[in-house]
Structure 1
């Protein structure tokens, strides 16, 4: 009889830094071996190319500083982002009766609720997805992190190599990290290959042993370059489609989860909400914009200069929730755009058209009337 074990190991707070520390150690070792054993001892002292050696040392050390600085930004400063707390949508009138000191009779007190957007991801009954740990609605493309204790906007993946989750805020630094790291390793292994023939010939003529650190650095640099370049290429590929890495996995037919997506859509023509379901075979570009350039801007930001400059701040927004993240009551009607700010996600024109086509053909799960749809958000 086969026993099935489902063991969940919780990462300690320090454990996520083990692999990054190993990577940092290899980076420091490779930099030392490259600068001292190759550039100084070989290129400068034996091959007499001092200007080339100094130039390579400066470039490699500069890129080292840039890579480490970006890592500190992603992990210790910016982070993946925190989805603002979103109160329940105004699907049905939400009231409670409370006894006040000024009035002996029951008074109707209206809780804060958010005017539902035109389209949102829902369950088969048309109700939005609720995150119990956060006591908040879970917005599109957001996923809860048990490690961090909150929902991550536009959750991409957990990167064990840098020890943090990649989300909406630190996605651009992550792409910059892979790009600069790939460039650093490319310079290292290409320059080693350029001088390796002269170095081996010099050692053969002088009957001296070769330094193993140079060849070990060459192996590490080639392996690391292939790995970081493949990550960079996959990031660019998914950005062009406006997909996260997690969405690409969920859309894959090789996986058993994420078999459908359900949206609750308000039809202005019918003055009614329709619950529409998409099967896995219908998964396409739910979030893709009209052009590839627009998709890349959605991930990297509107300022193209900042795509290359490895310095940036997290998205700023105004969140109407208290520090502890408990449900709030303000007595006013708010829209989702006011709460989410730059974290708001928009479905592609293709998806909206596909939803309307399903409605026109009568291919929907349910209909409902939301109380908030009659409120003018303006």
Structure 2
């Protein structure tokens, strides 16, 4: 059993780099054919447009380096991100780890490994949060477990076969930049070929060298790749404008296959109780959308718009208010529990005002599954 599992894992690790290797090989081939067979042999030597040829070679090589640099960041240096371990929410009163006291009674303890439940979280029909068995951790909103990486990825978008990694919260902006710069590179390849192909063929009729077959093949590959990249970029930007991941958009379009409901546990301040509310996927469509398209784009790409075009990314780094002990207890020095926001840091997903209003409207109409009281609501703040 363990041997077959190890073989499967090794195969997955090896398979991850097959398609990126093909893309890198075609990129090297296309660059060679474009720079040598078109720019140097035809534009520089035959047509004598030397400054144009040198400029095209320099720009294409520069974009090649940018694309490879972004890929290294996206796959090797940054990655999609890893959700921090989240202990169970403090919903039920817990028993002291030291057991019963001298009289045999059990006291409610504040020294149990648990987190104050946030005001709203995704749950099952009974109000209990979603648990990830492989990670032994709660799965927070928009987080999905990656079997390829072996851990939960915050804001899981999709697994890109051509890149060879999962796209998540940390490397999402790098993925957009990768597709955008790659599209620009391919455009710069096929467009000059189309511009000069007439001059080259006319010169061939006057006993000049013919258009090299490698240039023709590069033209076909560049157009095909450009169409794929631009369509991917357009779809992704459209999803970002709605504050949706690619996975959420796919699940939303295939409701019958992926289920038809989302369930949330919401703490109502006036009622001092939690309500379990159910939504179908049509209602859930805009749950993460902010007030404007620009706000949605900033939620994915970052608030600094200059960094949208600068191909430099790094994983989120943050420090909690407390040092977590080796045992995993999330305790402040005073004994106060930490909140989910203090554990997740920048990985915390916040519901939109539309979402909160929709939940409160259902509660006001009595349209909820059940109610419950969480012990953690009485001892700490909720975020």
- Among 315, 337, 341, the alignment partner of 2:341 is 337
- Among 345, 351, 354, the alignment partner of 1:350 is 354
**Greater Cα offset, 344-353 or 33-42:** 344-353
- 1:334 is paired with a residue whose SS is coil
- 1:276 is paired with a residue whose SS is strand
2:50 counterpart residue number? 50
Matched-pair contact (CA < 8 Å) for 1:97–1:106: no
Pick closer, same or farther for the CA change 1:18–1:243 going to 2, 3 Å. Answer: same
1:172 counterpart residue number? 173
1:3 counterpart residue number? none
Offset of 1:296 from its aligned partner? Answer: 0.4
How far apart, in 2, do the equivalents of 1:207 and 1:341 lie? 65
How far apart, in 1, do the equivalents of 2:325 and 2:169 lie? 21
Matched-pair contact (CA < 8 Å) for 1:136–1:327: no
- 1:264 is paired with a residue whose SS is strand
- 1:133 is paired with a residue whose SS is coil
- 1:377 is paired with a residue whose SS is coil
* TM-score for the superposition, normalised by structure 1: 0.92
Pick closer, same or farther for the CA change 1:212–1:259 going to 2, 3 Å. Answer: same
Backbone CA RMSD of aligned residues: 2.2
2:219 counterpart residue number? 218
String of CA shifts for 1:114-156, please: whole Å, max 9, x gaps.
Answer: 1111111010001111111111110000001122111000000
- 1:13 is paired with a residue whose SS is helix
- 1:115 is paired with a residue whose SS is coil
How far apart, in 1, do the equivalents of 2:88 and 2:373 lie? 15
Matched-pair contact (CA < 8 Å) for 1:19–1:163: yes
1:193 counterpart residue number? 194
1:359 counterpart residue number? 363
String of CA shifts for 1:306-334, please: whole Å, max 9, x gaps.
Answer: 1000012111123678799x743645401
How far apart, in 2, do the equivalents of 1:269 and 1:197 lie? 75
String of CA shifts for 1:78-98, please: whole Å, max 9, x gaps.
Answer: 000000111111111122442
How far apart, in 2, do the equivalents of 1:97 and 1:49 lie? 80
Matched-pair contact (CA < 8 Å) for 1:321–1:327: no
- 2:16 is paired with a residue whose SS is helix
Matched-pair contact (CA < 8 Å) for 1:154–1:167: yes
String of CA shifts for 1:26-54, please: whole Å, max 9, x gaps.
Answer: 00000000000000000000000000000
2:4 counterpart residue number? none
2:22 counterpart residue number? 22
How far apart, in 1, do the equivalents of 2:184 and 2:176 lie? 12
Residues 204-283 of structure 1: matches in 2 within 5 Å? 204-206=205-207, 208-253=209-254, 255-283=256-284
Offset of 1:207 from its aligned partner? Answer: 5.7
How far apart, in 1, do the equivalents of 2:350 and 2:313 lie? 24
Matched-pair contact (CA < 8 Å) for 2:330–2:337: no
How far apart, in 2, do the equivalents of 1:376 and 1:63 lie? 52
**Greater Cα offset, 327-336 or 124-133:** 327-336
* TM-score for the superposition, normalised by structure 2: 0.91
String of CA shifts for 1:190-232, please: whole Å, max 9, x gaps.
Answer: 1110101001111121164431011100000000000000111
2:130 counterpart residue number? 129
The unaligned stretches of length 5 or more in structure 2 are 1-7
